Structure 1
């Protein structure tokens, strides 16, 4: 709205450029006197700007508009590039509406600062204007100046519009923090594509909307934990965590403390706050009456409500005093703990080594390898279908402990593990006779990053987990940006896993590239595919689709994976599809798309991004 007014005023103005100066130096001490209107475009440098004896600090690109007459000076000790344009700007036909608009608009203010997200076009236009001024081509100067001002307000208008959309998105998120929020929900509310929504958040916050939502939920959880009358299970339920255990684990990742420890600390912090005038309460008559009831011992109900936090603080204080009074001159040597008790993903309390070294797992090889740990034993017989993982260990480093879903307890016993990680609760009793055993589950964690952080906590490799997550998110963001630059906003995707008698549509949380394409890269499913995701349960990560109707599920980009139909015995309803007939399908090598651990998914996502970009190029 603001920039629309500025553009309207420009159309009513007589504009004439009086002088153009380009200051470019390693340091400056420049002064002048503003006798008309002026634009100052700081293209580069950190400067101290003084206007009519009022100092301002400018760091980096900035546009300043002046209608205020008076002395102007600029000083800098670093390299600068500045354009100063003196001009006359008068409204020819003044009426009450135009005068009111001029007073309201930034263009009519004595001094106004404008910031652009993308300054390069404006800098180029300012340089062209200066070149024409040097050559005394005044008609070109006037035309350049009109274009320059129009460009500035057009870009500001776009930023204004984006800011309005961003505010809508943030307001929607705030209203729905107590509900499971999907990126698609926010995009639909703001009438943006998920791609544009991601780029909008990336530009303003440096990360996507998912990270923003998680950040807001963390702050909300911390706020409620500080209220001792809210139970942890109620907060976990309100924040839509599957279990109290999962919430407690997530909360510890955010703050370094369990919810109970965080509450205890906040109580102590409040109790240690010094009493001063700022902390004094202004009592009203009702509060004074409550004080008298306390004095008489008659307000027992309120006393019970306050007893718990008060007693916690008192016990901690007495414990500290007791420790001080009984401290010996020479502290007895403490034995360093070698084990700790954790709560695994099945909710079991397990005592495990603090930093296990000899690890065996029946499924989670990728999660362990991501932490720079090579387990002594794992089910590696099927790794022909998880080939990305093979680059993270040497042949012979890992002993194969089973095939086809069965694990040899004899082989596990021979390896003398100090920790076993399993997916199967039913096998825990057998494994625990050999070594401490924890149950891990991908579904207990929100996304690949949380999955690795959780494994890092269990194995005491938090630094390695953080390093992996940082690299993972950086590379996935790069892959997304690469795709967004190559495809239309509304492009849709399908992954078919093809059999002889029927095709299947790969689910969005599945192996066969589903997790990588939809969850990690955030690509949009084809409309009928999205309907499957929303309304039906998958069968082992796939939806059965007969070849008679397979064409209804074809997206703009079609990936095909063929585990089980190597002879390629397909019916005509498949081979006559345009994407198949014209060789436009994108084939995924089965040996790289069986696993869906974060390490495999990272490589799958990057490979799929390259494949999509190449397909987009060839389609042009």
Structure 2
């Protein structure tokens, strides 16, 4: 890009000033942060050094630096203070710009370019900067407008001087920035959406550029970074698996363990033992991982489609045939056109100031377009009649309950909804783990409709296909929940059949328990396998069998569980072993995890009546993690069978 093109893009763009500040970095100190927007930095006093995405510049008075949103900037100041002005702005190209300007913008976005220099006439720039700063901080709209005029004058004067000096802008190395960001923030929540927001690029462009350079998607790289650090911690420390999981960004130790096994081939404990016995030799997995990346080494490239979740088994080959890709794109275009013709987009509530309210979706008459209008928490949405290709990121059970096998579902549900496995087949594809869904994969599946629980992801889903936000908290009963899903997916009859069958099976399960234990017997659900040094007591919300036990089977909780958990609408509480007797009832359901031994249990546990009298029912975490309506029914029947078997054994 030359400076003429640079100015032409500025001339055809919408510019918004975000903030203008003056900073002082005290001597012998450091400062580091990510730029929240495109920025000019103008040093007016002092000396030091600044690193911009790894490139070092010598700071001196009247030094100008420009960098784009998401750039990593670090200052180091020597024996004197450094004073600089900091101008944050956003720039957006006009859609009415000429094709040549738009092409130049997309190749080299000027608002992301990096350049630095010591201008030849710094006092003129200083005058513009000082006036801009003063006008901006007066606050009234007229002065803010004047500050914007001064900003344009500053940019014009600077570009004139850069052109005379022969300074060339440096294109931002987007991939290097993302890699540095991941290495620094791997233990924090990271999604493709958040990275796209940081660097102000579309999800598709960011992911495509990263994959082209590294051979893997950004979220794959996040996962591999976390696993490398986890291996390092397993080898070099005595941290527990749970402590390591949290340290590398996973609050759910079971999900971390399964992900580790997929990546490494063994569980974390097995890996640690193999290193100890010499079956695996690895002194520093973290450094090995960093070295293996090289500088975008082509050896990193793999031929399998990379989504948010790296799968070492059963990955599908990328769609390589041209005709297949054409067909996929035609399907996507047709779907988006249908949605656009129906209501312009999947509209939100027409009253932006009102709280969204959920009503059971009301199925309208099928129009000639083959679309049905349904009411949702996000407003009316046009969905296809009798959709065949459904993607669901969480509520897998209700979708299966109305007779629909989705084309895609979240890895979390596929792995932890074990009771639903018999109702699935190999055609259901993994769209990524909860919290890091691959929109690329969803796009590839060309869905007719998407079912999501995640309001934050709704906008991105809606760009792919008609999307329904399914909020189960808005339904008073499982029957209402299934009825609503039946209407969303045009499976009303199937929903009626399931609801009728649900009632029969619920009554049968309750009768089985009545014949096994006293009517006034209390029961508790506890988890001491996934936590340390305390006991987790489960209510009737969320996972771990609470919904099945208390809502479907109608079993009686202890007074403490009722008052401290269920009445307060909490899913679970953590209690000390000293108070365990207050929460555990006549019977106790205990969570277990395959291949994980329980901790050493204290005497307060062993002295419980339920434990002493062998009224303990063990359930498998993998089967009881899910809490959807269908899983909960199957869990209730399983618990009823276990209680009946326990009673008959006495």
Same fold (TM over 0.5): no
Larger Rg: 1
